[in-house]
Structure 1
């Protein structure tokens, strides 16, 4: 996993799986990066994420709570089909902003 900072946004990419076995470590890595240098928004590139389970979804919601107090947003970038299906089945697309490739190119960081 790669974590990069772009102005007031933290971007995580290279996440192949987000599930019970690694969700806590993922959360802690993001939280530590935010604690080191605060940001307002979090972008998570899910384009290569083949597995996303309920623990992974819970982690994404927990990250939203971290930035929500500063009126920040969690953006899920280009979710892979299986991840997108989980977001639709759980209706979490209503809570977390899902952004497709065309929109990412148009959105300044």
Structure 2
């Protein structure tokens, strides 16, 4: 008997070598434009270090700063996402930086 341990990519997620695009369940206003998708580019070491430096020891703030930078939107834009959509962004990011095969 074989088991399938591969993680399936959700239909709302598109993963490429350059980044990840997340389809939002609830359209949101990002950079003053109503959209149903958000794209995060692949992070660099500089992105992570900058987010760390600007957030102190606050892990939540560090994540928000990093995601905002990668998506080229403001933290306030991310804060306006519905929780379900923010969780999709989180999952997209972690799929993007995970070394494991999907």
Give the TM-score normalised by the residue count of structure 2.
Answer: 0.31
Higher relative contact order (CA 8 A, sep 6+): 2
Q: Which of structures 1 and 2 has the bigger CA Rg? A: 2
Give the TM-score normalised by the residue count of structure 1.
Answer: 0.30
